[in-house]
Amino acid sequence: MHIPAVYDVNLSIVSPELALGLVGVLVLILDLFLRDEEARWLVVPSIAGVVLSGVYAAGLWGQAATAFHGAVVVDPFSLGFDFLFLTVILLTLLLSLRLPKLSSGHFALLLWAGTGMMLLAAASSLMTLFLGVELLSISLYLLVALAPGNAAAGEAALKYFILGAFATGFLLLGIAFLYGSTGAVTLFGIQKALSGGALNLPHAFTFLKVGLALFLVGLGFKLALVPFQVWVPDVYQGAPTPITAFMSVGTKAAAFAALLRSLYGIIPPGGWIPALTVLAVATLLVGSLLILRQTNLKRLLAYSGIVNAGYLLVALVSFGLVPAAYYLAAYTFMNLGAFAGIAALSKDAEEGAELPAYRGLAYRRPWLGASLAFLFLSLASIPPTGGFTGKFLILLSAVASNHAYLAVILVAATAISLFAYLRVVVALFTPAEEAGLAPRPLPAGAVVVVGIGVLGVLATGILPHLFLIPISSMTHLFTISPVP
Amino acid sequence: MQGSPLLTVITFLPLLGGILLFLVPRGRVGVARTVAMLFALADVVLTAYLAWAAHPGASFQFQERAAWLPSFFSYHLGADWISIFLLLLTSVSFLVSIAASRGITQRGRAYLFLMLLAETACLGLFVSLDLFLFYIFWEVMLVPIYLLIIGWGGPKRRQAATKFLIYNLAASLLMLVALVWVGIQNAGAGHDAWGYLSLLHLHLPAAAQLLPFLAFALAFAVKMPLFPFHTWMPDAYAEAPAPVTAVLSGVLSKAGLYGFLRLGLPLFPAAAREVWPWVAGLAIIGVIYGSLIALAERDAKRLVGYASLAHLGIILLGIFAFDLQGLEGGVLQMVNHGVYVVALFLLLGMIEERAGTRDVTALGGLAVRAPVLAASFLIVALAALGLPGLNGFAGEFLILLGVFRTHLWLAVAAMLGVILASAYMIRLLQAAFHGPRAFPGQGREMSAWEFTLMVPLLFIIFWIGIVPRPIPAEVAPTAHHLVAQVSYAPPSGFPGGTGR
C-alpha cells in the first residue's frame, strides 16, 4: 500500500511507543483467559514487551528525525529517556509481584503509562505532549485506585484525579494560548513564528506570557513543584507502594523531559529563567522544610521527591542537561530501591509503615537494613553515592553558569532535608524492644529491586563515566525538530 | 593505576577489617574487638613503615593515581611529611581507642565497624591529592561519628549528635560550593580540574580568593573547632563514649588544621594573608576563653574539651604566623595535642567508670587507691600544660617563638593561655586524685590492660619530649614552601586587611 507523502506517516519513529502500547493491549486480552490467581503470570509478556520496546529503541539509536508533520521526534534525547523509562517500568513490574491481589489490567495500565511517558519525551508538538500527559495520567489514576479493599487508595485516586484533571485543564489552556499567540502547535512552528515576528500582533506577547505561565502550572503539577505539590503526600501514601515508586520516578522524569524540550526549544531563556528560578527556590526550601516533619516513610519519600524536583530545576535553569540526566538516573536507583525496601517490608493491609516500625531492622534483617540505610544516605547525598555525585554535577552546572546563589540554596536544602533521611538511618540501627516489620520470607521481586537500587547507587556514585559517556552523547545530539 | 598501592592499602585496610567483622558471630564481641585491633595494628605497622621508607623533602611521596573521570577528578593519593605524621597519629590513636572500647558490649560489631570506617575516612583525608576525593573523605568522616554518638553516647546524645552534624554539615556543604567554583576556575586541557597538584599552579587572582577562602576556612574552623564555631564541641565531647571523644578530639580536630595547611594557605595565599588578623584574633579569643571556661567547668570531659579549644587556638596561631618556626611548631603540636588529648580522654573514661561521675567536685582521693592511674594522669596532664621534657613543651615553644618574632603582642596573649593551662590542669589533677576520698570502694587501680593502652602514648609523650627534633626537621622543607607561597602572594586589596 502506498501512503501519500502528504500524511508524513513513519511508524518506525514511534516503534518503541507502539510496541509497548500494543503489548499492553495483548496483555489485557490475555487476562481474559486467565483465572485471578494466574494473573501474576502476565508479568512475563509485560517484561517481554518492555524488552521489545527497548530493542526497537536501540535500533533507532543515532537517528534524528521527525514524523507526523513534526508531531513526534526521535533523537538520542528521547531514546535516552526511553531507556530510563523502560528501566523504571521493568523494576516496577518486578515490585508489583508482591501486591496481594493483582487486579486485571494492572500490567496493561503500567505499560500504557510507560507509553505515555515515552510520548512525552518524544513530543515535538504541544498536542503530542498533551496526549502523552493524558495517557500517563489516566493510566495512573486507575493504577492508584486499583487496590481492592484499600480505602486510602480510593481516596488517593480521587484526590489525584480531581487535582490532576484540573492541572490538565491549565495545561490545555496554556497550549491554547500559546497557539493563539503564535499560530502553531509544533515546537518548530512556534519557534519559527516567534523569530518571524508573530509577537508584533496585538496582545500576542501577553498571550504568550499567559500561555507559558499556564503551561508551567500544568507541568509543575506533574513535577510536584512548590506550590503545586499539595496532592503529593496523600496520593503517594495512599497508592500501592509499587505505583508510588513508579510515579515518584517515572512521572517526574517524563514531565521533566517534556519541560526541557519545550522550554529549550521554543522560548528564549530570558522568558522562563526567572519564573523557573523562583519555582526552584520555593521548591527547594519549602520541600526541605516540610520533609523534616514526616514520620511515615512513604510520605517522607513523597516530600523527598519534591526536594529532588527542585534539584532538577536548578540543573534546568543552569542549562545542565547532562547533570540533570545523570541525577535522574541516580535518583531512579535510590528512590526505586528505597520504595522497594518499603514494599518488601509492608504487610498486606498496611502500606509503608511509620518510622518506629523500622527500628532495629538492621539487626533483624542485616542485608536489607544496611541496603536501606545506604539508599537513604544516598538520598541525603552523602558520598560516595549516586546522590552525591549527581548533586556535585548539578552544583557544577549551577556555579559554572553564574548561579552561585542557587548552588548555596541547593546545599542549604540538602543540609536541612538530610535530617529526615538520617532519622531513618538511625531508626534502622536503633535496637527495638518489640519485633517490628520483618515478614518472612521476603518477596523476591522487591529484594531484587533493592539490590539493583544499591548497585545502581554505588555505580552512579563511584563510576560516573559509565553513565556520563552515554548521557553526554544523548544530550549533545539534543534536537528540537531537525526537519522543518 | 600508577604507583605502588601502599597508601590505598593503609587507607582502606581498616574498612576491610570493619567489613570482615561481620563474619564474626554476633555474640562474640571480644573476638570482634580482637579482629578490629589486629587490623588497626597492621595499619600502625604500615604507617610506621611509610615513615621509615619516606625520604626527606617537601615533595609528595608514594603517589598513586588512577583515572576516574578524566579532566574532572582522579583517584590520586600522596603523602608529604605533614601527612605522614598525621597518618601515624591517626593509626596509633585509633588502635588505642579501639583497644580501650572494652566497655562497649551492646552491638559491638556495629560500633567497631563505625570506628574503623572513621579511621579509613581520616586516613584517606590526609593522603588525598584530589579535592573531590578530599571532600568525599571529609563528608564520610561525619557519618560514623554521628552514629557512634547517637548509638553509644550519654543521656543527651541525640541533641549532641544532631548539633555536631548540623554544624559540620552546613559548613562543609558551603565548602562544597567553593570547591566546585575553584575546580571550574581550574578547568582546562591536559589536567584534572580538581587535581590538587594542578590547583597549586592555578594562582587565582587575589581579589577572587576571599569568598572561597572564607567558605573553606569556615568548614575547617567548625571541624577544629575555632571560637566561635565551637558550640557543638562541649556537648559532643561530653556525650560521646570516651574512645570516640578521644579520636574526635585527637584526630578529627587535626582534619580542620590540616585543611588550613593543605588547602587554605596554598590555594588562597593572598586571602589567607589578608584575613589573618581575624583568624589570629579568633584564635586568641579561643585561647583565653577556652582557658577561662576550663577553669570554671565542673564536667571533666567538657573541661578537657575547652582546654583543647585553647590548645588548638595556639596551633592555629602558629600556622597563621606564616613563619617557619611557627609552622613547624604547629605541625609538631598537632601530633602532640593528638597524643596527650587521646590519653587524657581515655584516662577520664577510666575515672568515670570508677567514680560513676565526671563532676570534678564529686571526685577526689583516687590517688590513694590507684597510684599508677594517678601517675599516668599526672604525666599526661603535665605534657598538656607544656612541662619541659614532655612533648607539649617543644611544640608550644616553637609556635610561640614563631609568633613572637612576627607579632609580639599576640605571643604575649598566647602566653597567658599557657599560664592558665597550668591552673586548670592542676585543678583537674587535684580534684580527681587528691583530697579526701569522695566515693567509697570502686577506686580500683588500673588493670594491666588499661595500663598497656597507656604505654605507647606515654612512650610517645616522653620520646617527643626528649627528642622533638625529627618532626620539625622533616616538616621544614614543606613549611619553607608554605611560607614562601603566602609571603610572596600579591595583596588582594581586601578592605580591612593589613597585609604584612
Whether residue A429 and residue B169 make contact (CB cut-off 8 A), yes or no, is no
Looking at residue A292, what DSSP letter applies? T
pLDDT of residue B495: 45
Residue B204 belongs to a domain: no
- pLDDT tens profile A372-430: 999 999 999 988 899 999 999 999 999 988 888 999 999 999 989 988 998 898 888 77
In 3D space, the residue among B167, B268, B164 whose CA is nearest the CA of residue B216 turns out to be: B268
Residue A481 belongs to a domain: no
How far from A90 is each of A99, A325, A452, B238, CA to CA, in Å? 15, 19, 11, 50
Percentage of chain B beyond pLDDT 70 is 96
Residue of A nearest to B183 (CA): A396
CA B320 from chain centre, in angstroms, equals: 17
- pLDDT tens profile A285-326: 999 999 988 888 888 999 999 999 999 999 988 888 888 999
- Cell triple for residue A231? 496532592
* Mean pLDDT to the nearest integer, B468-482: 89
pLDDT of residue B202: 84
Residue B410 belongs to a domain: yes
- Cell triple for residue B346? 581515655
Parent domain of B415:
268-490
Residue B498 has pLDDT above 80, yes or no: no
Taking the CA of residue B364 and the nearest CA in chain A, the distance in Å comes to 36
User: Could you tell me the pLDDT band of residue B118, with boundaries at 50, 70 and 90?
Assistant: very high
Residue A171 belongs to a domain: yes
CA A316 from chain centre, in angstroms, equals: 15
Residue A364 has pLDDT above 70, yes or no: yes
pLDDT of residue A439: 60
CB A423 within 8 A of CB A355: yes
Whether residue B184 and residue A414 make contact (CB cut-off 8 A), yes or no, is no
Q: Say which residues have a Cβ less than 8 Å from residue B120's Cβ, sequence separation at least 6.
A: B11, B12, B13, B14, B15, B18, B140
Q: Say which residues have a Cβ less than 8 Å from residue B454's Cβ, sequence separation at least 6.
A: B343, B346, B347, B376, B446
Residue A246 has pLDDT above 80, yes or no: yes
How far from A308 is each of A30, A221, A256, A379, A426, CA to CA, in Å? 38, 14, 12, 9, 22
For chain A, what is the domain count?
Answer: 1
User: Could you tell me the pLDDT band of residue A207, with boundaries at 50, 70 and 90?
Assistant: confident
Give B417 or B494, the one with higher predicted confidence. Answer: B417
User: Could you tell me the pLDDT band of residue B407, with boundaries at 50, 70 and 90?
Assistant: confident
* Mean pLDDT to the nearest integer, B201-211: 87
**SS3 of residue B202 by DSSP:** coil
Phi/psi-derived region of residue B356, left when phi > 0, alpha when psi is between -120 and 50, beta in every other case: left
For chain B, what is the domain count?
Answer: 1
Looking at residue A91, what DSSP letter applies? H
| Rounded Cα distance, A243 and A102, in Å | 12
Q: Which residue has the cell 567558605?
A: B215
Residue B154 belongs to a domain: no
Instruction: Give the containing element (helix H, strand E) for B437.
Output: none
Residue A482 belongs to a domain: no
In 3D space, the residue among B143, B146, B125, B123 whose CA is nearest the CA of residue B134 turns out to be: B125
Instruction: Give the containing element (helix H, strand E) for A252.
Output: helix A252-266
Helices (H) and strands (E) in chain A, counts: 20, 2
- Taken in order A405, A410, A415, A419, is the CA torsion positive or negative? positive
Whether residue A404 and residue B110 make contact (CB cut-off 8 A), yes or no, is no
Residue B379 belongs to a domain: yes
DSSP bridge partners of B69: B73
DSSP bridge partners of B77: B64, B128
Residue A484 belongs to a domain: no
* Mean pLDDT to the nearest integer, A137-146: 90
- Taken in order A366, A369, A375, A379, is the CA torsion positive or negative? negative
Residue B212 has pLDDT above 50, yes or no: yes
Q: Which residue has the cell 493510566?
A: A139
* Mean pLDDT to the nearest integer, A153-162: 88
- pLDDT tens profile B80-116: 999 999 999 999 999 999 999 988 888 888 899 999 9
Which one of B68, B164, B169, B182 makes the best mutation probe of the A interface by having the most chain A beta carbons within 10 Å? B169
Taking the CA of residue A382 and the nearest CA in chain B, the distance in Å comes to 7
Residue B21 has pLDDT above 70, yes or no: yes
| Rounded Cα distance, A121 and A135, in Å | 13
Measured between CB atoms, which of A407, A464, A468 is closest to B177? A407
Residue B497 has pLDDT above 50, yes or no: no
**SS3 of residue B81 by DSSP:** helix
| Rounded Cα distance, B212 and B208, in Å | 8
Residue B123 belongs to a domain: no
Taking the CA of residue A384 and the nearest CA in chain B, the distance in Å comes to 6
Q: Tell me the pLDDT of chain B averaged across its residues.
A: 89
| Rounded Cα distance, A337 and A460, in Å | 14
Rounded to 10 deg, the angle between the A297-317 and A404-429 helix axes is: 160
- Taken in order A189, A195, A196, A198, is the CA torsion positive or negative? positive
Give B-chain residues touching A422 at CB under 8 angstroms.
146, 165
- pLDDT tens profile A17-40: 999 999 999 999 988 888 877 888
- pLDDT tens profile B240-288: 999 999 999 999 999 999 999 999 999 999 999 889 899 999 999 999 9
Q: Tell me the pLDDT of chain A averaged across its residues.
A: 86
Residue B116 belongs to a domain: no
Residue A151 belongs to a domain: yes
Phi, psi of B69 (to 5 degrees): -125, 95
Residue B395 belongs to a domain: yes
- Cell triple for residue B418? 599557657
The identity of residue A388, as a single letter, is F
B220 touches chain A (CB under 8 A): no
Give B491 or B244, the one with higher predicted confidence. Answer: B244
| Rounded Cα distance, B147 and A423, in Å | 11
In 3D space, the residue among A142, A311, A400 whose CA is nearest the CA of residue B193 turns out to be: A400
User: Could you tell me the pLDDT band of residue A347, with boundaries at 50, 70 and 90?
Assistant: low
Percentage of chain A beyond pLDDT 70 is 92
| Rounded Cα distance, B329 and B337, in Å | 11
Parent domain of A245:
5-476
Whether residue A399 and residue B181 make contact (CB cut-off 8 A), yes or no, is yes
